[in-house]
């Protein structure tokens, strides 16, 4: 596709359930980033990938959060045993180089934990 694609666009889940969020970056982009945005707030950095490896996992809020990227393309962010405070928009971005500049964002996944 032409841009970064995220699915689902909306996810409603019950507290304690696991969820998986998907990001399909722009073809050829080697770097991929996950951010989280709570209502009315800025973006909180979670993790980024360079190829399939994740040099920086410092932003993951807890061990319930994990992410992987396979084939240097699609990435999934998994949240286990979801809590209400996990409710937010999860944004994915990709970039063509390692500089971390010029990020292209998807429209995000709105996660609601009831």
Partner 1 sequence: GENVEQHPSTLSVQEGDSAVIKCTYSDSASNYFPWYKQELGKGPQLIIDIRSNVGEKKDQRIAVTLNKTAKHFSLHITETQPEDSAVYFCVPKGGNTPLVFGKGTRLSVIA
Q: Which stretch binds partner 1 (CB under 8 A): 11-19, 61-69, 75-83, 85-93?
A: 85-93
C-alpha–C-alpha distance, residues 35 and 46, integer Å: 5
Q: Does 17 bind partner 1 (CB under 8 A)?
A: no
Token pair, residue 58, equals 């410092």
Which of 21, 92 has the CB closer to partner 1? 92
DSSP H or E run through 66 = strand 65-69
Q: Which stretch binds partner 1 (CB under 8 A): 60-68, 69-77, 79-87, 102-110?
A: 102-110
Q: In angstroms, what is the minimal distance from the CB of 88 to partner 1?
A: 13
Burial letters for 24-48: b for 16+ Cβ neighbours within 10 Å, e otherwise?
bbbeebbbbbbbbeeeeeeeeebbb
In angstroms and rounded to an integer, the radius of gyration of the C-alpha atoms of the chain is: 13
Q: In angstroms, what is the minimal distance from the CB of 16 to partner 1?
A: 28
DSSP structural state of residue 81: S
Q: Which of 4, 32, 54, 113 binds partner 1 (CB under 8 A)?
A: 4
Q: Which residues bind partner 1 (CB under 8 A)?
A: 4, 33, 35, 40-43, 45, 48, 56, 59, 91-93, 98-108
């Amino acid at each position: 596709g032409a841009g970064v694609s995220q699915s689902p666009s909306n996810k409603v889940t019950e507290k304690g359930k696991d969820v998986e969020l998907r990001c399909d970056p722009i073809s050829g982009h080697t770097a991929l980033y996950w951010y989280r945005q709570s209502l009315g707030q800025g973006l909180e950095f979670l993790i980024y990938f360079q190829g399939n490896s994740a040099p920086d996992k410092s932003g993951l809020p807890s061990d319930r959060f994990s992410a992987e990227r396979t084939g240097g393309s699609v990435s999934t962010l998994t949240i286990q045993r979801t809590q209400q405070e996990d409710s937010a928009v999860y944004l994915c971005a990709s970039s063509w180089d390692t500089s971390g500049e010029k990020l292209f964002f998807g429209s995000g996944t709105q996660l609601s934990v009831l």
